[in-house]
């Protein structure tokens, strides 16, 4: 190689590298933004809808859950102002699990039961609404709702894509954002089948 061409390549190489880098940055900017990879959920309050029984729930929580063949069992935690509701069908298996914020009456605090009432991925009542999407991706639907005159938003997740062996539906109810503050999760429901 001649000396002149060597000097040319020494000067041109950084310019080519800079141009290639700018081209790659421009191409990546044109790609559509991908959303968070959807995630399913298996548990709420350490129980699994469609698999956990009321006997198992009774071992983790107060004895009122141990013998409950049909209907709804509910317990409140005055420490966290949360309520845990378990619904069953015709057998002693928990079909739906719901944790929600309630204006509870003052009572004796018995070890903060509500601290364990979170999803398997760590979502809890009181979290910022944007955390739901960070953990589970974009919901299948979002719709306005109200409860006791308070404007709310319902985030609906269908997990049928994950197969029949996982809970199929999760609903998360959040307060509406207000005055620049984000909405907050006020209720989480995980169900073995469609709600």
Q: How confident is the model at residue 190 (pLDDT cuts 50, 70, 90)?
A: very high
Give one DSSP letter per residue of 35-84, joined into a string.
PPPP-----BTTB-TTT-BHHHHHHHS-GGGSS--SEEEEEEETTTTEEE
What's the angle, vertex CA 183, arms to CA 182 and CA 186, rounded to 5? 150
Which range in 15-24, 82-91, 103-112, 174-183 is most confidently predicted, on average pLDDT? 174-183
What digits encode the pLDDT tens for the residues 116-163?
899 999 999 999 999 999 999 999 999 998 888 889 999 999 988 877
Q: What mean pLDDT is reported for the chain?
A: 78
pTM for the complete prediction? 0.75
pLDDT at residue number 20: 47
What digits encode the pLDDT tens for the residues 84-121?
999 887 678 899 999 998 876 666 666 666 778 999 99
Q: Is the pLDDT of residue 15 over 70?
A: no
pLDDT at residue number 90: 65
Q: Report the distance separating Cα 108 and Cα 132, nearest Å.
A: 31
Which range in 7-11, 65-69, 72-76, 129-133 is most confidently predicted, on average pLDDT? 129-133
Q: What residue segments make up the domains of the chain, in order of their start?
A: 1-33, 54-191
What phi-psi label fits residue 143: left (phi over 0), alpha (psi between -120 and 50 degrees) or beta?
Answer: beta
């Amino acid at each position: 190689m001649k000396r002149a061409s060597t000097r040319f390549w020494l000067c041109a190489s950084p310019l080519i590298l800079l141009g290639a880098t700018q081209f790659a940055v421009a191409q990546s900017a044109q790609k559509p933004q991908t959303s968070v990879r959807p995630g399913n959920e298996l548990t709420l309050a350490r129980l699994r809808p469609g698999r956990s029984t009321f006997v198992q729930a009774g071992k983790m929580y107060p004895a009122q859950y141990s013998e409950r063949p049909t209907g709804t069992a509910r317990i409140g935690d005055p420490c966290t102002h949360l309520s845990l509701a378990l619904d069953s069908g015709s057998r002693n298996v928990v079909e739906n699990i719901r944790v929600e914020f309630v204006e509870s009456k003052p009572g004796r605090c018995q070890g903060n039961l509500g601290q364990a009432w979170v999803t398997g991925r760590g979502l809890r009542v009181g979290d910022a609404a944007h955390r739901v999407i960070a953990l589970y991706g974009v919901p299948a639907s979002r719709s306005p709702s109200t409860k006791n005159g308070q404007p709310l938003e319902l985030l609906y997740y269908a997990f049928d894509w994950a197969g029949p062996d996982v809970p199929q539906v999760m609903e998360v109810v959040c307060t509406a954002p207000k005055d620049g503050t984000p909405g907050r999760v006020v209720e989480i429901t995980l169900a073995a089948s469609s709600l």
